[in-house]
Amino acid sequence: MSTQKIKVGILGATGSVGQKFIQLLSGHPFFEITEVAASDRSAGKKYKDAVNWFLPTPIPDAIANLTVKNCEPNLECGVVFSGLDANIAGEVEEAFAKSGYHVISNSKNHRFDKDVPLLIPEVNPDHLGLIKVQNFGKGSIVTNPNCSTIGMLIALKPLDDAFGIEQVNVVTMQALSGAGYPGVSSLDIIDNVIPFIGGEENKMETEPLKILGNFNGKEIELSTFKISASCNRVAVVDGHLESVQVKFKNKPTKEEIFSVWKNFKGEPQQYDLPLAPIQPIHYFFEDKYPQPRLHRDIDKGMAVAVGRLRDCNLFDYKFSVLSHNTVRGAAGGAILCAELMKVKGLLS
């Protein structure tokens, strides 16, 4: 059975996202980790000696004694998941793609390349068509959006399809794990909120326009609705909570919105992919929900929790959305991209 699995490598295997990849890929039916790679600081050591493992489940036995390699395109695998530091991710990922590897990346570097899909499998699976436009020979690059963008867009996509979005304002309360490890110092964040996350607002104001854009067979025509984002770091370990205000081209009733969210399903659900949530959007009618500690793990951490839909004095409606930033917003989202690529024959 395991010989039929696709061999994958993890670039940045020792980091926050890298560890999550290793945890989520343990026992995966499609993929088998055969390589782990990181910086010179880790290369040459056994994985268990190189990593500062901080997840609650143990390092999988099959990974603990693997030797960490350098991030050079001579790894024994066909697919690499990248959780690399953005300072080096761009050039490393390109070198792998040019050498024939399929690269699925969490880093920001290639997200706006014209020929690279910025993919949320339930939202814009047709953008995988861009791979045919790429010039990497047998290799390819697909990127996973910013963690806050993913949660918000899973809630907005079915609304955009049904009613047309005109304007969005979003205020985020983002978890500490989004800053990697060790991240923000305890003295900065205890008893505090930091009203700034470098580069985050720009990502949230630009990535949705590509993701909800139209793929015309050659390129993405960017969507044109307006977004304003304000991003805050809060003392939560995992799970980004966002307050979203939205104005529509055709204002629906609340009941119509509930119905659209309830019925929303995408290709991952149609293909019954291993990491696909059964229901991508869970709506909570209790006023005090959603909450990070209670709802970040719904359906393997891959579903988003939505609540508090209400009238807005400035826009049409406002609501809250919560998603797990290192699962749905990073490693889990990237694995779902790879699962979709696998069933579409794009990883051969």
The verdict on whether 324 is a catalytic residue reads no
Between 13 and 298, CB nearer to ligand NAP: 13
Among 152, 330, 335, 337, binds ligand NAP (CB under 6 A): 330
Residue 159 in tokens: 């609304």
Among 6, 33, 79, 84, binds ligand NAP (CB under 6 A): 84
Residue 181 Cβ, how far from ligand NAP at the closest point, in Å?
5
C-alpha pair distances (Å), 297 with each of 53, 185, 262, 272, 327: 20, 25, 19, 19, 9
The verdict on whether 71 is a catalytic residue reads no
Q: Are 244 and 152 in contact (CB under 8 A)?
A: yes
Consecutive H or E run containing 189: helix 186-189
23 touches ligand NAP (CB under 6 A)? no
The tally of CA atoms less than 13 A away on the side-chain side of residue 257 is 25
Between 144 and 320, CB nearer to ligand NAP: 144
Give the x/- contact pattern for ligand NAP in 188-227, rule: CB under 6 A: ----------------------------------------
Q: Are 11 and 82 in contact (CB under 8 A)?
A: yes
The residues pairing with 31 across neighbouring beta strands, listed in sequence order, are 6
C-alpha pair distances (Å), 114 with each of 40, 133, 142: 32, 9, 12
Residue 35 Cβ, how far from ligand NAP at the closest point, in Å?
13
180 touches ligand NAP (CB under 6 A)? yes
Catalytically active residues are 147, 240
Contact footprint for ligand NAP (CB under 6 A): 12-18, 38-39, 41-42, 71, 83-86, 88-89, 106-107, 147, 177-178, 180-181, 325-326, 329-330
